[in-house]
Amino acid sequence: MSPLRPRAARLVTAGVLAVALGVPLAPTASATETAASAPAGYLVQTATDGQTRDAAESVGVEPTATFDSVVHGFAADLTPAQATELRDRPGVVGVEEDRTISPLAPQAVHQDAPVVPLATAEQAPGNWGLDRIDQPNLPLDGQYRHTATGAGVDVFVLDTGVDASHPQFGGRAKLELNTIDRTDTDCDGHGTVVAGIAASTDYGVAPGANVRAVKVLDCNGTGTLSSLIAGLDWVSKNKRGPAVAVMSWSYGGSPMLQQAVQRMIDSGVFAASSAGNTGGDDCTALPRAIDDVLVVANSTIDDKRASNSSTGRCVALYAPGTRIVAPVPGGGTASYSGTSMAAPFAAGVAALYKQARGDAPATTVKKWIVDNAVLGKIDGGDTGGTPNRLLQTGGL
């Protein structure tokens, strides 16, 4: 996979500038005709790497990225005529528009919270969610009990990046790849929060795991189909041992993305995904629509379904996701809510499992997590056919 290059400004910019300067535009074509023939972002999937090169050369374009692990193909700016030509070319599996994805925006409470030093594996947790996932019943007992720490397991966070210098990661975090822009910092903060819930020292489920961040979303929390596939492609090729991934974003139907997520999982990477924050059934969107992905909904401190947590039969279980204290860029902490906060709890438990039980296939890990969840605890948990299960560490 070659790194993505930010695309140049579209030709429409020239028209806007000309109007602003009062310069008349030559009436060579209507605005509709010009827009219809202007280059736009596309992804081209091919059957082999050799056909990737040949397909790009056949229409005279330079790819902005190439993929050779989870899918074969490339991203490029193409005219509609070039896209049509490639669709008809032997060896081309498919051509898709490189659309933008929107973030699963969490509700930021931004209450700074003091760091609670943890001396042992049985201590007062940094957030209530840790306390909830190690016991089947309320009330909370003020402890987070675990034997495993996730040491030796890599947690891939495909998100907005990570503040690797945050003291809560203790040198265990690294930004591995940026597929979306030229800013190698977590200028949004979402990725640092997600990574912190999964694996920070005082606020994480697996405080010994490594965080390997892949920045696929920009400073606004948005990304593209090509940035997602480039990240998945890299993870598949660069995993070096027990690995889990957390994906707190959503994208509509895409054959290339569906294959990319599935093949990353097939390469040995367990995957957890947020259920969505619409309050309805979001099971048709990726990556939730893939059976091997563990989809996680949001529960509250008093064991209720969060009102905006998405539902549906694709959801495997609930996990704490409301007012969760976690690290944020710059060295501090804040409280956040959303299914983006729930998914990394499950990723953290998967990291504990892989340290304690070995590097099992993703399907085995998912089954164990589902089987060890506690049943019937969430008020409103069966809304929309959602299974009423609550994540547990299961004594790991």
Marked catalytic residue, from 69, 154, 190, 303: 190
**Amino acid identity at 313:** R
CA distance 396 to 378: 23
Q: How far apart are CA 181 and CA 7, in angstroms?
A: 10
Instruction: Give how far Cα 215 sits from Cα of 7, 179, 370, 392, Å.
Output: 17, 6, 29, 29
Give the number of other Cβ atoms within 10 Å of residue 114's Cβ.
9
Measured CA to CA in angstroms, residue 81 lies from 29, 36, 59, 85, 239 at distances of 17, 10, 10, 6, 38
Strands 243-247 and 154-159: parallel
Check: CB of residue 297 under 8 Å from CB of residue 343: no
Are 341 and 204 a contacting pair, CB within 8 Å? no
262 neighbors 292 (Cβ within 8 angstroms): yes
Residue 257 phi/psi, 5-degree rounding, is -70, -40
Taking the C-alpha atoms of residue 251 and residue 286, their distance in angstroms, rounded to an integer, is: 5
Residue 190 among the catalytic residues: yes
Quote the CA–CA distance of 274 and 259 in Å, as a whole number. Answer: 19
Q: Is 340 a catalytic residue?
A: yes
- Burial of residue 330 (number of CB atoms within 10 Å: 0-12, 13-18, 19+): exposed
Cα separation, 275 vs 295, whole angstroms: 6
Catalytic residue among 154, 159, 186, 233: 159
* Strand positions, DSSP E, the chain: 40-46, 65-68, 72-78, 92-97, 100-101, 107-108, 122-123, 144-145, 154-159, 173-178, 210-215, 223-224, 243-247, 269-274, 294-299, 315-320, 324-327, 333-337, 374-375, 389-390
- Lookup: tokens for 222: 């948005």
Catalytic residue IDs: 159, 190, 340
